[in-house]
Amino acid sequence: MLRDLELILIFPRGVKIDWLAGFLCAFLLASCATAVPGPEPADSINYEQPKAPVAISLNAYFHGLRTVELIIDEAAYTFLLDTAAGRTLLSPQLAAKTACKPSGRDVGYRMNGEPVVFRNCERLQATLSGYPIQLAPVAVFDVNALLPPELPRLDGVLALDSFRGQVITLDWPGNELIIHPAENAVAAWASQKLPLRFATGENGAALSVLLPVQATGTPLWFLLDSGNIRGTLVSRELVQERLIEVAPDASAQLAIGTSPVESLAVVADDINYDGVLGADFLQTRTITLDLRNAP
C-alpha cells in the first residue's frame, strides 16, 4: 500500500496499529470491473416503493462509520453501510450459513487502482427494518480480513445496489436512513434536487453514485463514500493542474450539488476519481438520493 494511505490510529485499549484509513472506502468502488466470465447483471426485485416511510437505524461503528442490522433467515447480522461499496457483500462465514456456494470471479478496484478479487452467491433474501432486500447475485468477500482485531467483526457490507428504484435519505447526524414511499418521494428529492451520476461497473451489478462539484468553475464528479474516514479527498493530478485550488491551510472552495460554495478541508491523493466525499461530509448534513432511475 502507498505510505500516504496509512494512518496511525489509537484504539480505546491504547493499542496502536497501522490501518488503511477508510478501510472500505477503497474496497468495492463504483468503478468495479468484471473478469470474463462474470455473473449476470444484478436482478434487484425491490423496485416497488414502500407504502409508508421505512426508517432504518444507523449504529455507530468507528470514526463516523455506520452499521445496520440485516435479518436473514430470522437471525440478525451486522452490516457496514458503505455507499461506495458498489456491491452488497456477505462474509464467507455468513455465506456458509445461508447454504451459498460462492462461484465465479469478479474484480473490484481500490481507490488507487489496486484490484480486489471476490466471488458471488446466487441470491440474497433479507429484510432491513421490514424492507425486503432481494439481490441476484450477491458478492462474497472476507471483509474482516481488512479489519484490525480491535474492531467488532462484520457479517457483510450493505451497498446502494440494495436500494435500486428507491428514494432514500441518509441522515448521518440523526443516525437514520429513510426509504421514502411513492407519495412523498418526489417532494423528498425536490428539497435538494441533487443530480447524480450512476456507476454500475462493467457488468452492471454494482451501484454507487457521484455528486456534481464545482471547483474553479470546472465541473467535477465526486464519489459519495460513507466508508471513507480520511475526509474529503481530491485528485492529486487535478490539484497539480490547478483545476482544484488548495489553500495553504489544506482547504478548497467547493460547490457540491446545488449548494453554495463552501470551504472544505481536503487531502490530495492518487485516486481514480476527481474527488471523494466521505463520512465527515455526511456528518454535517442530510443527503437525499433518487435511485428510481438507477440502472
| Residue 109: pLDDT band with limits 50, 70, 90 | confident
Cβ proximity of 281 and 170 under 8 Å: no
What's the pLDDT at 120?
A: 93
Q: Would you say residue 2 has pLDDT above 80? A: no
Residue tagged 490510529 (cell numbers): 9
What's the pLDDT at 248?
A: 96
Look at 76-85, 106-115, 178-187, 202-211 and tell me which has the smallest mean pLDDT: 106-115
> CA–CA separation, 254 vs 277, rounded Å?
11
Q: Would you say residue 225 has pLDDT above 50? A: yes
| Residue 91: pLDDT band with limits 50, 70, 90 | very high
3-state DSSP of the chain? CCHHHEEEEECCCCCEEEEECCCCCCCCCCCCECCCCCCCCCCCCCCCCCCCCEEEECEECCCCCEEEEEEECCEEEEEEECCCCCCCEECHHHHHHCCCCCEEEEEEECCCCCEEEEEEECCEEEEECCEEEEECCEEECCHHHHCCCCCCCCCEEECHHHHCCCEEEEECCCCEEEECCHHHHHHHHHCCCCCCEEECCCCCCCCEEEEEEEECCEEEEEEECCCCCCCEEEEHHHHHCCCCCCCCCCEEEEEECCCCEEEEEEEEECCCCCEEECHHHHCCCEEEEECCCCC
Q: Would you say residue 8 has pLDDT above 80? A: no
pLDDT tens for 52-75 read 999 999 999 999 999 999 999 999
What's the pLDDT at 18?
A: 34
> In this predicted model, which residue has the larger pLDDT, 275 or 14?
275
What's the pLDDT at 204?
A: 81
What's the pLDDT at 32?
A: 38
Q: Would you say residue 276 has pLDDT above 80? A: yes
Mean pLDDT value of segment 231-253: 97
What's the pLDDT at 224?
A: 97
What's the pLDDT at 45?
A: 52
Q: Would you say residue 291 has pLDDT above 50? A: yes
Mean pLDDT value of segment 92-106: 91
Q: Would you say residue 6 has pLDDT above 80? A: no
pLDDT tens for 20-50 read 344 454 444 333 333 323 334 444 455 688 9
Grid cell digits, residue 78: 451486522
What's the pLDDT at 4?
A: 31
What's the pLDDT at 117?
A: 85
